[in-house]
Structure 1
């Protein structure tokens, strides 16, 4: 016969604590069941308390306020960057318009460009007001899109076009500029509205309406007389 070896039990602990298999099912001395994760089940009460802590930390008004403020700050940064971009664009337009107005042959188009030059100066003043309302200044940056549009218009002046054809081409160049400005001021107005900056939104809306009106005037001049004159000058 084999001799049975004695069970080795750590000192100070009763054997029953280490013989769970010998305890009947449901015995209060049985160890707590383990989850599949290997962690003991904390029980429904502990889980409820833990969820309340997580919910309070995640959805407390203080936390929401902080998150909203961070989002608004980043969005205002975008607003300031776009304001600086259009500020550069308007400055370039103000410098280019006098030269373009001198080169056109149609008096109606020249008058329209000169009027828009005065509007552009007023639009720059509006941008200054917008920056002041935000407690900021324009960034030292160059609007590359406007730089390209102005360069294209300059190229037309040396393209050897007949005066009537040049007028038609310059209207198209001016409308490219207007469409860029319409897109810019439309976005700026939407950004300001989203940030709750009513005064800035109103300034952008005023300029947006001017840009749209100028675009319509250019279309009217082109379709009423100048395009037909360009075609007639090109015949023969």
Structure 2
């Protein structure tokens, strides 16, 4: 159950979303679904994030909702209790990885080095988040990792746009990308759900 390979096959893009006002959570999630994107990584970067996560989990059954920016075991526990169906961390420590693996949901640990990839492999996982993708080396770095470790599947996140996503998605070891461009802050603030649906449609049309 812990490996997130199935999570990575849901959409070519996993929207990485920060929601300030829980009242925006349900319409935002529905806008993504309307555009053909049926997955969301909701970051735990606001005090109300767990409330937003719970609302999406309860009211938008058509979307697979996960919790991102998991930094501590306590956050992982709280996210699962709120309804998170998968967990994403920006990086790993042995304690955090052990805690996440103890929960009955898929886990997508963040890695940025070959050593971290090997550590996650030792824990039995072959699906990982590559973060921060752009600053850490981008597509050339992932291509290089794929030579000695071809069986690991990545979801690169960080600094990726609609224009650069295809450079990642053409790599055999990239299953999908994470992106914040689907839910721009100004569109959320204006409650322009139609714009988010349009952006989601463009993301859903990307090919792997």
Query: For the superposition of Structure 1 and Structure 2, which TM-score range results when normalised by the shorter chain?
Result: under 0.3
Considering fraction of residues, name the structure with more helix.
Answer: 1
Structure of greater Rg: 1
**Higher RCO by CA contacts (8 Å cutoff, separation 6 or greater):** 2
